[in-house]
Amino acid sequence: MAVAETTAQTRQAGDLRNYILVTGAYWADTITDGAIRMLVLFYFFNLGYTPFQVAMLFIFYEIFGVITNLVGGYLGARLGLKSTLFMGLGTQLVALSMLAFAPQTWLVVPYVMVAQAFSGIAKDLTKMSSKSAVKLVVPEDAPGTLYKWVAILTGSKNALKGLGFFVGGLLLTLLGFSTALLILAGLVLTALITTAVLMKGDLGKADKKAQFRQMFSKNRAVNMLSAARVFLFGSRDVWFVVGLPVFLYDVVGWNFWQVGGFLATWVIGYGIVQASAPGLVRRRGAGPISEPNGRTATWLAFALAAFPAGIALALMNGVDPTLVVVGGLIAFGVIFALNSAVHSYLILSYTDSSKVAMNVGFYYMANASGRLIGTVLSGWLYQIYGLVGCLWAAVAFVLATGLISLLLPRDISPGLHPVSLEKVAERRR
């Protein structure tokens, strides 16, 4: 018994060590991902590209995000999360090199779209690896701990992506496009080497019997949450990706680093709220029943709809755009962050440990689908209807999120409780 306990503790310590490493690598990639977005957006807008053309630069990024989350979940289950992490970091180096070393004449829409496709693949492989890893190191009977760890991971990721926005705008202003990309490539390469040297063993177990068709979840709760996720992230990106930064630069009159700095501050604050979600969003009661459920996700979604509607109405009535957008975006960010944190907890609550990579991959495929829809609409709506048109589209998306969330389980039934890998092995015996 003592030997078995010692072995279990050693394995858990190893998993925790590897989880810290994979999270650090994910953070490095997250900073890089945010910086690339600002670099590409402002560099090409400054060359005279229209908002819709700028949005098109990110289309492959989002399309391949959808594909990567679907295939990546399968690869994570079959090859192990360590393999998908290294694949993600290596792919990000390819994307950065394509942009950094390309002659000026190559930097046209089709070429940049391909580079952005690699960047999207990289980001989602590393995200899937990190988000799935947390399930492997949290005890199955500790939903409060799971909620806390997921919130911290998700919040820190978004805070660092916000830092990436600022870094991208600052590097573009001070050093130029190519030099900025080389610095970012150095950051990713450092993360890849550090992780490869220090990581011992594997992160989780590879399942050579995993089949691709298992990626399409048969869990109704996972399916409903994924559908809600499509519209939730579409509601953010339909005005945040292209419309908002272009509005701040072209209408309000801010420069690159001011826009990047403001968006960075917003996303960092958004990440802090996500990390604090366990203390801010908790149902009445003690123990597991106090964790958020489908009802929590529903009322948060409907509450969120009021903010883009309020910003749109204020702009339509001639209120100072700087005051409206800055204040409204802060309020929107707080409620959106709580929505996202609750979703990130629920997806791991709804899935079994034996299927975590696949279900998380499916869920983030839905997340990427929402971003794709939002990105396309952001450039198109802004070009035709301005920021107000983008905001009303956001309202419609959030309301759809709330309606779908009405179908989420109000409580986690016994059949939805996480199942450990050890219990799965026992059942197979």
Q: What is the radius of gyration, based on Cα positions, of the chain?
A: 21
Q: What pTM was estimated for this model as a whole? A: 0.66
Q: Output the pLDDT for position 149.
A: 65
Range of the domain at 84: 2-428
Mean pLDDT of 8-23: 63
Asked whether residue 141 carries a pLDDT value surpassing 80, the answer given is no
Total of domains in the chain = 1
Q: Output the pLDDT for position 278.
A: 67
The model's pLDDT over 193-208, given as tens digits with 9 standing for 90+, comes to: 988 888 776 655 555 5
**Which of 51-65, 103-117, 210-224, 356-370 shows the lowest mean pLDDT across its residues?**
210-224
Q: What is the CATH number of the domain that holds 381?
A: 1.20.1250.20
Distance CA 44, CA 245 (A): 13
Distance CA 414, CA 235 (A): 33
What are the contacts of 325-334 at 24+ separation with CB within 8 A? 325/244, 325/247, 325/248, 325/252, 325/387, 326/262, 329/244, 329/266, 330/266, 330/269, 331/307, 332/304, 332/307, 332/308, 333/266, 333/267, 333/269, 333/270, 333/273, 334/269, 334/270, 334/273
Q: What pLDDT band is residue 365 in, cutting at 50, 70 and 90?
A: confident
Residue of 256 and 215 predicted with greater confidence: 256
